Every structure is written in C-alpha cells, then in structure tokens.
Amino acid sequence: MDIIITGASKSGKTSIKKVIFEKKYPYETVFNEPTDKPESLQVESLGYFYLNLTEFPSTFSSKDVNEYDKYLSKSQALIFVIDTQTPINPQCEYLKTVIPALFKYKSSISLCIFLHKIDNTNAGQTDYYKQRDEITSSITQMCKEANLSDINISYFATSIYNSTLFEAFSKIFQNILPQNRNLSSLIDHLANTCGFEKAFLFDVFNKIYLASDSSQNEAQSYELCSDFIDLVLDVSGIYNDPKIIEESDSCFDDNSICSININSEINKDSKNILFLKFIHRNLALIAIVSEENYERNNLLEHNINLFKQAVKNILKI
C-alpha cells in the first residue's frame, strides 16, 4: 500500500510521520529539519505486506507531477495536511494549485484532508467545524472549476498529542485495504457469536486498526484499546528477556494473550474484560466482553482460532 503526505511548509507533515511510524515523542519533533525532497518510509504491517509512506516537500507544485511519477503511480491515498493554528487561506490556495494536477494525473486516488493541530477543548472543536466548513467550500469550488466532481474526499481532525492521528490513519487504511470488507464481516460475526461489546483487529505496534465490528462507541473504545496496547508493550518490554526480543524481533507469538478487568458501561454492577489475543506477529484481536461470556473459555478459544485462520487466509489472498 502506498500513501502520499503533503501540505504547506511547517504544517506538521514530518511530525505526523515520526510520531505514528517512527515512535517519536511529540516534543522530539519540535526541531524537525524542512523536507526539501521526497522522503519515503517503508513500514511493515501485519507481516504480510508493507506500507510505503512518502512525504512530498512543500516546494512541490503542479509542474512536478510528471517528475514524481514513481510515487504517484502506485499511491492509493493522498493526505493533505492543513495547520489549523496558522492562517488557512494561503494553505487552501496552495491546495488548489496542486490537487487538480494530481487528480488529472491519477483520478482514482483518495484525498484525505488533515485539519491538524486541533486540541480537545470546546473552543478547538468549534474552530475545527468552522475551518472544515471553510475548507470544504473552497475544495468544492476548486473541484467544480477543475471538472473533478468524482474526487473521494475525507476530513479528519488530528493532533500528535492524542489518539486522533492514529484513528485517522486507521480509517485511511480501511479505505484502501482491499480485504477490509471481508475482515469487517468476519469480526462482526465473531463479535456476535462470542458476545463481544466491541472488537478490533489491530496492527499493535503502529496502534492502527484494520477492521472493527459494527457496534457503536468506536472512538471511545479505540482510545481504551490504544491505552491497553501501550500498557502491554511497556510491561512486556520490562519483563521479557532482551535476547529473546532481539532474536525474534518481538516478545509475542501467535499464542500470546493478555486481559484486564474494566468497568462495564452498560451495567455498572458487572465487570467487563478487555483482552488482547495475537493473531499473527503484529496483528491482534482486541475485544471488550462481559465477565460471564469471557468465562466460556472453550467457546471463545474455538471461535478465535477459526477467526485467526480465516484472517490469515484473507490477507494472504
């Protein structure tokens, strides 16, 4: 899978790449050097295929489209980053100069707009909706003038200081992953059979989920699962033998499992179990299930083993 990330100077492109895929802390990205040429990062995902993320420099223009053919010809998604903490009009003008040329070159690519550096305050969310309306209007007008009415556009509010960035990449992955419909159907069936309140298929080390069941509270559940992943990785890093991790490149295998008790959102008198079960190397099922259903060990183990094999078959195809 190939994704391009671009935007105006200092919009946060490099920080996004470093935080989500190079595991840098946000404060470590303050003094990033400007990107003056295309920079590609290959990320192993799921153990079956790779993500190629290419950052275009802010000097990229419509004249460079043919020169950047080796990146554009393979890409399924284009992320355009807009810094919401600086004037958006110049950034929209830059967007209008490059997007028509890109989509005339390759019309099948998906356009993802990151309204970046949005905080979690009410004022920040209000600004986000206002800016989104302004940018949507500007892009709609641009598409009309350039005869690009069929562009598939998604909008995301993102920040390197919370889980919104990982959620946005999760949605992009789901959109471009050919197997997503099959995986979603499969995890939906598993959740119904086992009585899960919520279930995700996670690329654990990048905290990106490839599919989830169709129940509600996805954002809230994702944040809980994201914190759980951090806990599991931190504890395993402390107590595992460094030699084993170095030799196998991971302290987990297909049989690794971890669970904790959490309060139920539906029934305050009952307990839920949040558990993580590895499917294959970086890939894990993370689910929220009632204590009663979790105790049906034989049924859970049988269905999860069937799910594991089906996921492997789908991804290999």
Q: How far apart are CA 9 and CA 60, in angstroms?
A: 10
Q: How far apart are CA 184 and CA 199, in angstroms?
A: 10
Check residue 200 and give its pLDDT.
Answer: 92
Contact between 8 and 113 (Cβ < 8 Å): no
Q: In the sheet that 271-280 helps form, which strands lie side by side, from edge to edge?
A: 208-212, 196-203, 283-290, 271-280, 257-263
Strand 49-55, strand 2-7: pairing = parallel
The domain 179-316: what is its CATH number?
3.30.450.190
Q: Nearest Cα to 78, choosing from 103, 50, 110?
A: 110
Check residue 286 and give its pLDDT.
Answer: 92
Task: For 51-102, write each residue's pLDDT tens digit.
Answer: 888 888 888 887 888 888 888 888 888 899 988 888 888 888 888 888 888 8
pLDDT in tens, the chain (317 residues): 788 898 888 888 889 888 888 888 888 887 777 787 888 888 776 556 678 888 888 888 878 888 888 888 888 888 999 888 888 888 888 888 888 888 877 778 888 999 888 765 444 455 667 777 877 787 777 777 777 666 778 888 888 888 889 999 999 988 888 888 888 899 999 999 988 889 999 988 888 888 888 887 777 888 888 888 888 887 776 766 555 444 445 566 667 778 888 875 555 566 888 989 888 778 889 999 888 888 888 888 899 899 988 888 887 76
Domain boundaries defined on the chain: 2-175, 179-316
Check residue 134 and give its pLDDT.
Answer: 78
Architecture of domain 2-175: 3-Layer(aba) Sandwich (3.40)
Q: Hey, do 2-175 and 179-316 end up sharing a CATH topology, with the first three levels equal? A: no
Q: How many residues does the chain have?
A: 317
Check residue 143 and give its pLDDT.
Answer: 75
Check residue 101 and give its pLDDT.
Answer: 82
Check residue 45 and give its pLDDT.
Answer: 64
Check residue 225 and give its pLDDT.
Answer: 87
Please name the residue that has the structure tokens 């390759």: 106
Check residue 246 and give its pLDDT.
Answer: 47
Which CA distances in Å does 79 have to 7, 151, 175, 247? 8, 13, 13, 36
Hey, is 205 helix, strand or coil? Answer: helix
Q: How far apart are CA 207 and CA 315, in angstroms?
A: 18
Q: Nearest Cα to 49, choosing from 277, 284, 286, 283?
A: 283
